[in-house]
Chain A
């Protein structure tokens, strides 16, 4: 008795323990997948295979990237812009793939990382080359069509600006050749297409030079100087000059990279000055020229130097399933960066985009499912003379909105339905019970031979014999028989226990049952 109680207590304790352990995992029921293995002690072969595949994919991808530079520069050289667009799109896609791979393999600090950074710059250079060449073509066509002297001069100036820009892009591209081919050769890649691409690039720039020599602008009476010749984000450079022939008050248009950037006014002494704040321009060289009274100045340039940035992230749980991410983006000197795109990476995957305000701060509300999430703010630097930066990773637990109502109601309904079904099975519909007087027809006692039979077989024979004697149909079960002939209920119930309960009858019981068959009604009850 004591043992029985102890076993129940142990069972109950074990049940409670298991339920508690399971309940702790109920919010996040995926206990294990090959992807989320992080323990040093256990490495899943599938994950390792995946990394091997990644590593194996690096070399063909690098080969394809180098190959693509050759193809792209060739199509640009041949002025097949449609194919060039396609090649550039393909090159851009391969570059993105490679970037992801380098991040997956955590190889940014290795040679692969260097290759990736140079390749990114090459992509920008080739995209710029395609645009510039196309614009150059357009200018050449315009030059033929346009007869007006001023317009021809404008075309010549823009051509000059483009030429200088292309020259600078080429120098940067050519300077990366040794590094790229060096890494490529160490990985056993075919670097010939890349070398060819440098050659093609050079030919495209030379063609632009030739055109320039034919259309070179004359010495201009409108002077221009840019001081200082280089600057960082937020710094101001001064674009100034003298226009001896101009009348005071003449507007002087300032062009940066062939786009109108602002207007200065000519002073009484024939000079003009315009401050330009380095803001939304990419790092690298930029060309400046001025125009007044359809007179164009010479072309000057300034260099936007890349600056480091710092981005912060603070996460606060707002309501239910949303969190508010705030932070600010500054240069390393603490200057706020306004209007810059900021991406918030959720759980290392999804990106949510936002933008900094005038004071360099940003705020973004993100809806998240319940559970633990990691968030990180990233600035990619595109379009600014600023380097990319990332914030610290913040972790937040989103509680969610508690138990959702619909599943809860569904669970209650299901429980109620099951209870109803089980209760219905407990109380079967009562079959119509025939009246004993109508059903029982007493027959003469039959002859039964049970001497050689096993006790439970003997009971079966006796049950059949009594049923026959009382004239009850053979389809009736012992329980039916007990209802039809309540006087013999003990006989039928005992038989049911023997037949279906697996109990073994004693010799005495068999004898009593036999007596009922032979002895008639007086033996009953």
Chain B
């Protein structure tokens, strides 16, 4: 029961983080998917570290691992693209 609650708290925290990011991006009059994605990924990484147990690994943690792997791959793609853009200009 405690484990499931932790899962939902984590999800709530992540959603709150995403809403905060979107709010400030709109306040700043720029809504850039790339920046939003990177900030969302940082949120997922922090939440994953916070809910990861020291001795046990629930199944949802393994799923988050796959999600992080995909996120990091997209992040690497964006970073490499930006570096190429800077080098080209």
> Once the chains are docked, how many angstroms separate the CA of A496 from the CA of B56?
10
Does B31 contact A477, Cβ atoms closer than 8 Å? no
> Once the chains are docked, how many angstroms separate the CA of A409 from the CA of B81?
11
Contact with A along B31-47 (1 / 0, CB 8 A): 11110000000000000
Select which of B2, B29, B72 is within 8 A of A418 by beta carbon.
Answer: B72
Interface of A is mostly: helix
Does B2 contact A502, Cβ atoms closer than 8 Å? yes
- Cβ of A216 under 8 Å from chain B: no
Does B80 contact A411, Cβ atoms closer than 8 Å? yes
Does A415 contact B72, Cβ atoms closer than 8 Å? yes
Does A34 contact B29, Cβ atoms closer than 8 Å? yes
Question: What's the nearest-Cβ distance from chain B to residue A406, in Å?
Answer: 5
**B residues within 8 A CB of A412?**
73
**A residues within 8 A CB of B72?**
414-415, 417-418
- Cβ of A349 under 8 Å from chain B: no
- Cβ of B76 under 8 Å from chain A: yes
- Cβ of A422 under 8 Å from chain B: yes
Does A479 contact B55, Cβ atoms closer than 8 Å? yes
- Cβ of A82 under 8 Å from chain B: no
Residue of A nearest to B55 (CB): A500
Range, interface on chain A: 20 to 34
Does A404 contact B84, Cβ atoms closer than 8 Å? yes
> Once the chains are docked, how many angstroms separate the CA of A311 from the CA of B62?
64
Interface of B is mostly: helix
A412-B73, A477-B55 known; A406+B84 contact, CB < 8 A: yes
Contact with B along A20-42 (1 / 0, CB 8 A): 00100110011111100000000
- Cβ of A426 under 8 Å from chain B: yes
**B residues within 8 A CB of A29?**
32-34
Does B29 contact A44, Cβ atoms closer than 8 Å? yes
A30-B30, A407-B84, A415-B70 known; A500+B77 contact, CB < 8 A: no
Does A418 contact B73, Cβ atoms closer than 8 Å? yes
- Cβ of A229 under 8 Å from chain B: no
**A residues within 8 A CB of B3?**
501-502
- Cβ of A413 under 8 Å from chain B: yes
Question: What's the nearest-Cβ distance from chain B to residue A122, in Å?
Answer: 39
Does B56 contact A500, Cβ atoms closer than 8 Å? yes
Q: Which residues between 35 and 89 of chain B lie within 8 Å of chain A, taking CB atoms?
A: 53, 55-57, 62, 65, 68-70, 72-81, 84
**B residues within 8 A CB of A44?**
29
**B residues within 8 A CB of A8?**
none
**A residues within 8 A CB of B29?**
32-34, 44, 46
Interface centre among A25, A29, A33, A413 (most CB of B within 10 A): A29
Does B33 contact A501, Cβ atoms closer than 8 Å? no
Chain B residues in the interface with A (C-beta under 8 A): 1-3, 26, 29-34, 53, 55-57, 62, 65, 68-70, 72-81, 84
For the complex with contacts A408-B77, A414-B75, 16 further pairs of A-B residues with Cβ separation under 8 Å are A25-B33, A29-B33, A30-B33, A32-B30, A407-B78, A407-B81, A407-B84, A409-B80, A410-B76, A412-B73, A415-B69, A415-B72, A415-B73, A415-B76, A479-B55, A500-B56
Chain A residues in the interface with B (C-beta under 8 A): 22, 25-26, 29-34, 44, 46, 404, 406-415, 417-419, 422, 426, 477, 479, 496, 500-502
23 A-B residue contacts at CB 8 Å?
A22-B33, A29-B32, A30-B31, A30-B32, A30-B33, A31-B31, A31-B32, A32-B29, A32-B31, A33-B30, A33-B31, A34-B29, A406-B84, A409-B80, A410-B76, A411-B76, A414-B77, A422-B68, A422-B69, A426-B57, A501-B3, A501-B56, A502-B1
